[in-house]
Structure 1
Amino acid sequence: MRDLYQMKDIERLSAGNEGYRRWIDAYTFIVAEEGKGELRIDGLRMLVDSGTVLFCNPGRMIEYCAAPGSGLLLDLITFRIFTSTGQEERPEGQAAYGKKQSPWLPDGKLYPESSYRIGMLVKELRALRSQEAGDDPFRQEMLLYELLHLLAPGRHADSETDIQPSRKGIELAIDYMHKHYREEISRDMLAHMTGFHPRFFSMLFKRETGHSFSDYLARIRIDRAKEQLLLTGGSLNDIARNVGYADGFYLSRKFKQVVGVSPTGYVREPKKIVVYDLVGHLLALGIKPLGASYNQGLRSLALLREELAGTPDVGYTSVEPMLELEPELIIATDWLDRGMIEQLHKIAPTLVFRSGNPFERFKSLADILNRRREAEAFIARYEEKGKRARAELSGLVGPNETAAVYEIWADCLWVMCESYGRGVYNLYKALGFTPPPKVKRDVLDVGQPKKITLEELPDYAADHMFISVYPANDGAERARKVMESDIWKQLSAVRRNRVYSIELDVIHSVDVLSLEKQLDIQTQLLKSALR
C-alpha cells in the first residue's frame, strides 16, 4: 500500500442566504445533507443540493450560501494522507511515510454510484465523533476507507454526461455571467447557448439558484462595481461601462436597488478594514482596523501598541484568521506573498500598495477612504513637528552635514533606504540632512537597501550614523565585532560621537504615524549627543 489515510474530523456547517467563508487545511469531502445553494472552491462555482458530494484539497477557501428561501446543511469530512517515500534500511523493512500536501483529486463535484451508502457512512462517522457514542478509532478508520473506496479516483465522473443536463446548463450560464459581466448579456442569449427555450431557462434558473436571471446578473455587476468604487476612484460613468451598464445614472439606480444606498453613500459609509503593514496609515486617518498584521508581527509595532490595543493580529501567512472578521476592504503591500494576495482578493476588495514614498501612499489611501481632510491635518502636524525639530537642532547640526541609517546583520551590513523604514524618511525630509554621495547614488536613487561589507563601510559613512542591529543569527555578536574593528574606530562619526543606536522594534515601521513618533526619538537622540 503506497498511501495511508487518517481521519481528522467531521463537522457540520449550516448556511442561510448570506455568504459564508471557510479555510480548508486538510483533504476534505463536502456532502450536502439538505437544502440547496451555491458553493465555491477558490472561485470555482457549483450549484449544490441534497446529496451533492464535492472534494476539496488543502489550502483552499470555500464560500457557500443557501438559495433564497432555503437553508443549506453541509458535512465536512477531513482526513490526512501519508505517502510512501520509499524503503529505508530498517530491520523491519518498513516503508517511510510522509504527509502529503499536493492535490489528490481535482477540486469540485464527485459523482458516486451509491449516494445512499455515502449518506449512511457520513451519518455513522458523525455519530462516532459525538460524545454520546464515544470514540472508536478503528471503526472510524474503517468507515473512512469505505468512503474513500466509493469516492476514489475513477469513481468520479470522467465526462459531463453523468451530470443532469438542466443543472449543467445553469452552471454553464452562471460561469459565463461571471466571466462576461462587462458585456451585453440577455436571457435569450444564455438560453440559446445552453439549449433551452427562454421561458424554460428562466424557470430552471430560478429553481436551481433561487434568483431570477436578471437579479443574479445585477448582483454580479454590483459586486464588481463595489470593488471599483473602493479601489479605482473612477467616475460612475466609467465604472458603469466597466461592469456592463450603459451609464452612471442606470448604475446608480440598480446599485440602490441591490445595496440599499447610492454608490456615493456606499463609499462614504465606514468600512470594516483589515490592514497588512500600513497599520499606522489607517490610525493616522482616525480609523481603527478590524484586524491587522505586520511582517515582523503586530507586537513589534512598539510605538503603536496603545492605539492597537484589542486589535487582533491576523498573521502574515494565511487568510484563515481573518475569515470570521468578514472585512469589507483589505489593505496590503506587495511585501506579502503573491499567493497570499491572490487569496485576499477572493475575500474582499483588496488594495495593494507598492514600496515608495510613505506620504504619497498615505494620501492615496486617504483619497480612497474619503479622509482627505484628516490626511491634510496629519501632514500639517508632521511638517510642523519637523520644522520645530530643525529649529532645535539648528545650532547643533551644520547645514551640509550628512546622515544615513545602517543595519548590522550576522553576515553583512545594510545601508537602508526610505521605503524600508528605520526612520530614513525623517532624516532627509523632516530633519533636512543630506545623504552621503554614494548613499544617494547606490541606495536612495535606486530605492533599495544596499548590502555592503565592513571594508566598504567607510565609502558609505555619514557625519551622523544611525545604527540598528538585526538580532537573528547572532547579529548582536556581529555588531560587537564590527564596533571593535579598526575600520569602525577610524570612522569620523565614531571619533566625534555621532553614532546613534536605534531599537529595531521602535524604528522599523514606515507608516506615517510611526514616522511622526520616530521623529521625536531621532530628535532627542541628536540633541542628547550634540549638546
Structure 2
Amino acid sequence: MLTYELLDLRLLADEGTLSSVTLTGLFPMIIIPTQPIVIRAEQRTCRIGKGQFVLLLYPEKDSHIVPSTSEGFAPVYSISFNSYRLAKREKEALLYVIDTAHLPAHGQVMEFPRYAEGLLKNLIGQFSQTQKLNAAPKLHLLLHEFLDTIFERKSIDNSFVTNDQAIQQAVTYIKQHFEAPLTRSFMANMTGFNESYFSSLFKKETGWSFAEYVNQIRIDQAKLMLLGTNDKLQDIALKTGFADGSYLGKTFTKYVHLSPSSFRKRKQSNRIVSIQFLGALLALGIQPLATTRELLQSSQLLHRRLPNIVEIESFDQIEVIHQLAPELIVAPTYFYNYPEVMKALEQIAPVLTIPWGQLDKLEEVRLLGTLLGRTQEAEDWIAQLQQSAIEARKVITPFLQSGSTAGIFELSHDNLWLIPYLSVRSAYTLYQLLGLRAPQAIQQEVLQPGKHLKVKEQDLPLYAANHMFLIVPTDDTESFRTKLMQRSVWQQLVYEQGCQLHLLKLNEFWFDDGLSLEIQLDVMVKLFTNQS
C-alpha cells in the first residue's frame, strides 16, 4: 500500500524570468514545463519538451534550468513530495516507511498526459489556498490522484475516458451494432435519459456529437472493408448501417476527404505514419515514416530497425505530420478519445483505426497485412516466427525441470504487480510461442477468464512460478534485483520456493506486436540459458 505527502509546489519560472533558475528544494521533485526547457547539471544535460515532465529523485550538483529557445521561459512548475510504503500493520497503528523503489528512474523524462492538466490546475489552486500542508487532507488526495495519473501508463482499450456508465454503455452498444438502425431516441431510451440530455451528456463525455460518433464508427468499418475485401460499395453500405452505396459515398467523402474508390487505391501504401503497431508494420516490411516520442521510448528493441523514422513530440503535432505527406495514418481505436486530433489528422491522410490489445498477436499482423496489401508478407513472417519458436523451445528444454512453470509480472506505479493476459507484455511469447505452463493460480485467474490481474507484493507467493519474468521500470535491472532481494517476500520466493527471477526492461517489453515479439522471444531465451 502506497501513499504520498505533498512537500512543496512552486512556480519555478514564468514569462518574466530572465535568467537561469537553480534547482533547490526538497526531493523527489517533478518538473513540469509548459514550453521546452533544458536542465543542466555538472554531469549531464537533459531536455524536457512541451507535453513532458521529468522526475528527479535527488539533487545534482550545479543543476539549473534554462529555456530551450531564445524566446525565454513559459511557466515551469515543480512539485516536491514524499512516497511511503506500508511496512507494518499493528492492532492500533500503521507503520509507513519512505520508499521510492516503485517510482520511475531518476532523470527519466516522461509524457505528461493531457487529462492530467486539469488535475494539475486543481492541485495548484488548492495549494494556493492552503495555510498548513499537514492540515490539508484534500490536498494530499489531489496529489495522490495526480501522481497516479502521470506515473501510470494506462491500459489501452477502446473505452472513452468517461466515468459515466450510461455513456460507456452507449459507446459499447454503438461499436457492437453499428450496422443496425441507431437513433438518438433509441439510445436515450436505452440509457434512461431524455433525448436532449442524452445528446448533451454524450458530447460532454466523449467530445463527439452522437451523430458524428455513429458516422465515424461506420466510416471506419467501411474503410476496413474497402481495403480488406472486394465487396461492392452497395454491399459495404448495407453492412455498415448506411441506406445505400450513394449515401455511404457522400458521407465517406465528407469525413475522409477522399472518395471510397480513391481510398481503396491506397491499399499498398508505403508512406505510413504509425501511431501504434510499429512492430506489426516492420513485420510486413513497411518502414513507418514517423511515430510519437512516447511510442519510440517504449519500443527500444526496435530502434535499430527504424533508422530513418521521424520522431514527433505528440500525435497532435499536425503540421509536422502534414509535411511528411503520408498516404495513410495507422492509429489504435482508443484514438476516439481525441476527436479534434482525429479530425485534423483525417485532413492530412485517411486514418485507419485498428483494435489495440484485443486481437491474437499473429492475427493482428494478418489483419494489417490484408489491409495494406501484404498478405504474403504477413504469412511469411508468421511462418518464420513459428519456426523460431520451435527452435527456441528446443534451446530452453535442457534448462527446464519436469513440470516447470513460468509467469510474467509487471511492477506497476502503485506497487502492485500486474499479471497480464495474452494480449499484452509478451505473455503471448511465454505461453504461446515458448509453450510454457502457467502456475495453477495464474491459469485459473488470468488465462482462463482472459483478463489481467493485479496483486500485492506479499501475495506473489500464491502465484509463484519456477521461472518468474519481472518487467521493471528501469534499465538497471541488476540494481533493481538487489533491492528486491532485500525484502522478505523475494527471499521467500527465491530461497524457500526455488523461483528463478528473470528481469526485463519495461521500455523493451511495453509493446509486443509483430517484430517486437520476435526480438523479445530471443531476449527471454537468452535469460533462460544464461541464468538457469
How does the TM-score come out when normalised to structure 2?
0.49
Considering Cα pairs closer than 8 Å and 6+ residues apart, tell me whether 1 or 2 has the greater RCO.
2
How does the TM-score come out when normalised to structure 1?
0.49
Which protein shows a greater Rg?
A: 1
